[in-house]
Amino acid sequence: MTKKKVLERLKRKITVENLWLYVIASLLKGPTYAYDIRKRIRELFGFDPSPITLYAVVYKLKREGFIKIVSEQPKTYGATEEGIRTLREALEIMEDNMGKLKKLIESLSKK
């Protein structure tokens, strides 16, 4: 596998394949429509999930209580407290793993 392919795969894994992180994070700016969630993700995080994938994730997050409908007409979504807590916990896991990786890399550069 080439360096380019490895890095593209990593980017896909931490973005599209974990889209729920970005959906909840985008709603921290305030409630919005599902279409605008996609726009926010593009503006804030620099990638563009497919509409079908995004809508599937939005509906699943709503069903599981991580986001909620704040207005029916038009349908507007917002993050729930549980969604925000879960996002924070996910970020802590990611930061912990990043810290361990950085520490290992730094120890190699000291040798």
Instruction: Spell out the domains of the chain, with CATH numbers in brackets.
Output: 3-109 (1.10.10.10)
Q: What is the mean pLDDT of residues 12-39?
A: 96
Alpha-carbon distance of 16 to 24, in angstroms, equals 13
Q: Residue 78 corresponds to which tokens in the numbers above?
A: 């917002």
The answer to whether residues 66 and 24 touch, using CB atoms and an 8 Å cutoff, is yes
Residue range 32-59, pLDDT digits in tens: 999 999 999 999 999 999 999 999 999 9
pLDDT band at 111 (very low <50, low <70, confident <90, very high): low
* The model's pTM: 0.92
pLDDT band at 109 (very low <50, low <70, confident <90, very high): confident
Alpha-carbon distance of 34 to 11, in angstroms, equals 23
Q: What is the pLDDT of residue 110?
A: 76
Assess whether pLDDT exceeds 90 at residue 1: no
